[in-house]
Structure 1
């Protein structure tokens, strides 16, 4: 009986680890598209009803919540000048999965032309759509460095 329980736990752990890797891969593909200014690559891992929000904290305005329509966000990324180097460095991943829902907490640093612009945390919510993880919301915090 102990052997059976051991193998059940091992199978569950390997399955969970594999799903976490696929969620991470989905987020990495999103950022590959982001860095390449390829909105089609980014859209491929997002649900059409994607929700984009930011929580920004500044000395003058305090804390504000903003929401960006996905079409405007994708257009803004695709239209960035080629001379402008942008890079969002994900520092770590903390992924939780429950059935067809996953949440990823990803601290980051954002660089413009090699200079640290701001930092914070992204929270991605994904769901399993016909066997494929799709991003349904992204909310991030933004703090000036």
Structure 2
């Protein structure tokens, strides 16, 4: 009987191990993304840069004057410069974590958000993060978002 219990416990641990790893990865991915937004709030471009790949791609899906969807690409360096330049109003992007999917060393995270400039609502939308696992943790290599003034997904 003890052999059956021991065998069952080992099988259970074997089946549970991937789930525990996924939970650890999800926590680390959330920490990476939260660090980016904490850096924005603090005006600390080094903190923001610490969780990004050096050639991260920043994009926004928006509408042109004709109302057609377009993808705009912006400069990561310009973003870092803007974060690190002293400004009177705190940049506070408040997010909710939606779906986080992981396949090996690749992850995708969906985060609805509301952005406040100095405590005043500015805009909302959704961020879509692409991350990869490095020896120093998860890093963001692609960030695309949307932006609007109403119909916010967050409460």
Superposition TM-score, scaled by structure 1 size? 0.89
In 1, the alpha carbon distance for the partners of 2:97 and 2:104 equals 23
How many pairs were matched up? 143
RMSD: 1.7
Aligned to 2:16: 10
Superposition TM-score, scaled by structure 2 size? 0.84
Q: Which has the larger radius of gyration?
A: 2
Q: Give 1:19's match in structure 2, choosing from 25, 32, 35.
A: 25
Gaps (5+ residues) in structure 1? Answer: none
Aligned to 2:132: 127
> Of Structure 1 and Structure 2, which has the larger fraction of its residues in strand?
1
Regions of 4+ moved over 6 Å: none
Q: Note if contact 1:121-1:140 (Cα within 8 Å) is conserved in structure 2.
A: yes
Aligned to 2:3: none
User: What is the CA-CA distance between 1:64 and the residue it aligns to?
Assistant: 3.2
Q: Note if contact 1:91-1:109 (Cα within 8 Å) is conserved in structure 2.
A: no
Deviations 1:87-120 (A, max 9, x none): 1001223211111111111111111222221111
Gaps (5+ residues) in structure 2? Answer: 1-6, 151-155
